[in-house]
């Protein structure tokens, strides 16, 4: 049974990001995958304070909060779906806090030479408007994040104009289908 970790950066329970993720996951064969959802806004996660605890002792974070089980999910899942709205060109702060707290996993990899198991990643980003290369900054940060997690990017589903286009699911049907097919194929590996 594969483990799919869905990290959702949106505060909206019934928002566009949730809508897109639900559509993408609607075709998944649930006998082949356990889905673990992390809704960033429901978690109490402090920002990294660069205490250097994790660079002195492997796996050690001085902050004890909701991040503790998330480290385990991030290290042991097979597929990561990183789903997020764009906030001023970037990830919302609670999701960025999770990324920064992964300094613990960065230290394991680059200071203690211990990499986590290989994983496959899917990016799902949405934004209210549209401009050229709008997702480039988020994609770059996601690459750094996934590098630390030993996760390769297998599909990028970027949806724009969610605030104006009420038919964004239908209008992005082809790329949503490709995303679904990518995940189905990953579950077969
Ligand atoms: C604080 C804030 C900042 C935003 N910044 C951007 C932005 O830079 N570019 C953009 O296209 N949309 C921006 N939006 C719109 C959201 O990205 C868009 O509505 C998104 O689809 C919301 O997803 P959700 O319903 O899952 O929360 C912003 C919205 C908020 C609340």
pLDDT tens column, 144-157: 999 999 999 999 99
Ligand 1 site, residue 128, Cβ cutoff 6 A: yes
Q: Which region holds residue 125: left if phi is over 0, alpha if psi is between -120 and 50, else beta?
A: beta
Q: CA quadruple 57, 60, 63, 67: dihedral positive or negative?
A: positive
CATH of the domain at 60: 3.40.50.360
- For the Cβ of 89 lying below 6 angstroms from any atom of ligand 1, the answer is yes
Q: What is the pLDDT of residues 130-189, one digit of tens each?
A: 999 999 999 999 999 999 999 999 999 999 999 999 999 999 999 999 999 999 999 998
64 pLDDT tier (thresholds 50, 70, 90)? very high
- Measured in Å, residue 91 CA sits from the centre of ligand 1 at 10
Residue 34 has pLDDT above 90, yes or no: yes
Task: Report the C-alpha gap between 128 and 45 in whole angstroms.
Answer: 26
DSSP state letter for 87: B
Provide the number of structural domains found in the chain. Answer: 1
Do residues 22 and 54 touch, judged by C-beta distance below 8 A?
Answer: no
Atom of ligand 1 nearest to the CA of 8: 26
CA dist., res. 146 & res. 99, Å (int): 10
Nearest-CA residue for atom 29 of ligand 1: 87
Q: Of all atoms in ligand 1, which is nearest to the CA of residue 162?
A: 21
Question: Tens of pLDDT along 94-132?
Answer: 999 999 999 999 999 999 999 899 999 999 999 999 999
- Closest listed residue to residue 134, CA positions, set 156, 158, 157, 152: 158
Give the model's pLDDT for residue 189.
85
Q: How far apart are CA 91 and CA 138, in angstroms?
A: 7
CB 39 within 8 A of CB 49: no
The pLDDT of residue 78 is 98
Note down the domain range covering 127: 2-188
The minimum-distance atom of ligand 1 relative to the CA of 90 is 8
Residue 126 in contact with ligand 1 by CB distance below 6 A: yes
**Does the beta carbon of 164 sit less than 6 angstroms from any atom of ligand 1?**
no
Atom of ligand 1 nearest to the CA of 18: 26
In angstroms, what is the span from residue 54 Cα to ligand 1's centroid? 33
Residue 15 has pLDDT above 90, yes or no: yes
49 class by beta-carbon count within 10 Å (0-12 exposed, 13-18 middle, 19+ buried): exposed
Mean pLDDT of 21-32: 94
Burial class, 176, CB count within 10 angstroms (exposed 0-12 / middle 13-18 / buried 19+): buried
Ligand 1 contacts CB of residue 15 (under 6 A):
yes
- Ligand 1 center–CA 62 separation, angstroms: 32
């Amino acid at each position: 049974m594969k483990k799919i970790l869905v990290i959702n950066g949106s505060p909206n329970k019934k928002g566009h990001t949730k809508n897109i993720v639900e559509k993408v996951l609607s075709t998944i064969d649930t006998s082949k995958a356990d889905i673990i959802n992390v809704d960033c806004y429901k978690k109490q996660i402090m920002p990294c304070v660069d205490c250097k605890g994790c660079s002195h002792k492997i796996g050690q974070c001085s902050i004890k909060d909701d991040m503790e089980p998330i480290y385990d999910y991030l290290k042991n899942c097979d597929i990561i779906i990183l789903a997020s709205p764009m906030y001023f060109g970037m990830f919302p702060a609670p999701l960025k806090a999770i990324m920064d707290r992964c300094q613990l996993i960065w230290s394991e990899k680059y200071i203690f030479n211990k990499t986590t198991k290989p994983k496959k990643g899917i990016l799902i980003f949405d934004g209210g408007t549209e401009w050229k290369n709008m997702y480039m900054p988020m994609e770059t940060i996601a690459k750094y994040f996934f590098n630390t997690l030993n996760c390769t990017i297998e599909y990028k589903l970027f949806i724009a104009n969610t605030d104006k286009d009420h038919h964004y699911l239908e209008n992005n049907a082809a790329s949503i289908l490709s995303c679904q097919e990518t995940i189905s194929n990953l579950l077969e590996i």
